[in-house]
Structure formats: structure tokens, C-alpha cells
Amino acid sequence: MNVLVTGSAGFIGYHVCNRLIEEGISVIGFDNLNSYYDVNLKNARIKNLIHKSESSSSSFSFEKGNLEDTSCLEFVFSKYQPNIVINLAAQAGVRYSIENPMAYINSNILGFANILECCKQHSIDHLIYASSSSVYGGNQLLPFAETHPVDHPVSMYAATKKSNELMAHSYSHLFSIPVTGLRFFTVYGPWGRPDMALFLFTKAINDNQPIQIFNHGNMIRDFTYIDDIVESIYRLISLPAAADPKFDPKQPNSATSWAPYQIFNIGNSNPVPLMEYIGEIERALGKKALKTFLPMQPGDVPSTSADTRLLERFVHFKPSTSVRDGISKFVSWYQDFYG
């Protein structure tokens, strides 16, 4: 197996590459190492992957480039001839998409179109790509299920992820490419992104600085530990999407298709109130947070919750790491990495 992982210097991409290397799989990492957040953290991830591959039976090659650079992406596909592609590269961040929407158009839409075209040209066996729980937008029926309509995004980030699902379906239908889309629910864990709540809260509490708590703390999230995400992805690699023989075009749903196309939620299925989550960070750090309560941010939603029954039936695995265990592991990594 020869796997191309885009976004390999990112949080989820790094952990996926790490697992594949452990399994003895040849991995090609692709990332633009942009400055959306600390490039030193991204470089440290890549350095770790290179070091790990050198002491294993696997191989890890890294190429720097942008998804929207057509010639660069074509070069990577031609040089390494991957048969599996895991597309985790994207411009991340709901709030930043309000300030800089064109970054999302370029990376998440134009870049993804280039991924699809390369997969078509090189007859890829299976494309797995990152979508997001944000596609559920203004939906209020919980838990979110893959069969629910996702037509009301509340941020440009969410709109680009919904676009990815539509684009993937068209290529799956037209060119019979097996594609699997993954709607991630608030992923956290060691090596996490500095712009996400767990990192921001941990850093602020550790430095005796106040934390910003939006919607006055009245938030609920389906926090999903990184190892559960990686285990799900690893199991899905060898289970390419297939046409659903029970799909009824007269009563369609967004989870499957007559084409080799599938959507899965990956969440913990155990939503946690934000204030309880903060309490676990305080417990792990052994100190209380200074709290600043603020109104809801534009583009945000008050609650998320994942229905993961489709995933559980398909891969025989249920994400279940508790926030207490997950936060403890993150805090241990944070204190070790940053001293």
C-alpha cells in the first residue's frame, strides 16, 4: 500500500501518518507548512515522522506544496504513484473564514478539485477526505446523523466542506472513484492545533491569563480524541466505498449513493458541556482558570452531537475515549513539549 496524506504536518494528518508508519505502510506526506499557526510545531511533527520512519520498516517521504498548485500536485502523484489518498489538507478554522474567505475558496475548493482530478487521472483505489461536523450548520435536531439535510451552513468554512462532499459525489458518479467523506467532531489531543479551545485554554491557564468563554459558557461539544479518529481512518482505508444497493433516488439521503460514495460521522457520541470540559483542564493542570464570558461568535453553533451508528456498523469500532483521559494526555504532552 502506498498512501498519500495531504496535510501531513497538520494535527490530524500527523497522527494518521504516524499510525501508517507504525503499520509498515509507505507514506507520502504533502503540506504547504503555512503560517496559519506556529510553523515550528508543524516542522516538529514532520521531523518526528521522518525519525520514526528511519527506525521502522516503513518509508516516509515529504513534499512541500499547495493543493491549488496543479503542477506541483500532479508531480507528486506521478512521482510516487499512490493507490490510496487521504486528503486532510484544508484551510481550517471557522472564525478565520469570516475574516479571510478567499483562503478557504483557494485551498478547500480549488485545492480539492485538483485532488479529485489527480485521483481520476491516476486511477486511485480509494479517496478518503476530511469533511466536518460544521456542515450541519443551523440544524437543531440532535444527534446529527449523516442522513440529515446539510443545506444551511453558518460559516464559509462549513460551506466549503459541504462543497467538497458535492464535488466528491460528482467525481464518484462520473468516474467510479470510491470516495469516503468524514465529518469530524471537535478533534483534540496531543500535538493539537494552537487555535483550538483546548490548546488556548491550557496555555492561558498555565500562564495565569484569562480564558475567553463564548455564549457565556452555554456550549456543548462532541469532543473526539485523536486516537479514535485515527483508528477509524485506518480501518476505513481497506474498506473503500461501494454503491448502496438499497439507495432510493426517489427518497435520497446524503449518506450513500448509487455511486461508490459514503459519508461517516466520526464523533465520541457523548456530548460534553463546555464548562465541564474546562473543569477537566483545570483538574489536569491543578489550577483554576480566570474566566471571561462573552457572547456567541458569528459562525458558531451552540451544540454538536454525533450519531455514529453507520461508522460503528461499517468498521466495528466506536470512538469512546473520555474527555478526562484525553485532556490528561494533552496536558502531559503540552507540558513536555513547551516545558
- Positions annotated as catalytic residues are 157
Q: Is the Cα torsion angle 111, 117, 123, 127 positive or negative in sign?
A: positive
The grid coordinates listed for 131 are 469533511
Closest residue by Cα to residue 101 from 181, 159, 168: 159
User: Which of 18, 144, 160 lies closest to 94 in space, CA to CA?
Assistant: 160
Closest CA to 266 of 203, 309, 212: 309
Give, for 13, the enclosing helix (H) or strand (E): helix 11-22
Rounded distance, CA 183 to CA 161, Å?
A: 9
Q: How far is CA 309 from CA 1, 34, 123, 144, 306, in A?
A: 28, 36, 31, 11, 9
The DSSP code for 105 is I
Q: Which of 265, 178, 256, 205 is nearest to 229 (CA)?
A: 265
In angstroms, the CA 104 to CA 91 distance is: 6
Q: Which of 256, 288, 262 is nearest to 275 (CA)?
A: 288
Beta-bridged to residue 29, according to DSSP, are: 5, 62
Question: How distant, in Å, are the alpha carbons of 132, 149, 161, 302, 318 from that of 153?
Answer: 11, 11, 9, 14, 27
Residue closest to 269 by CA, chosen among 311, 217, 316: 311
Amino acid sitting at position 238? S
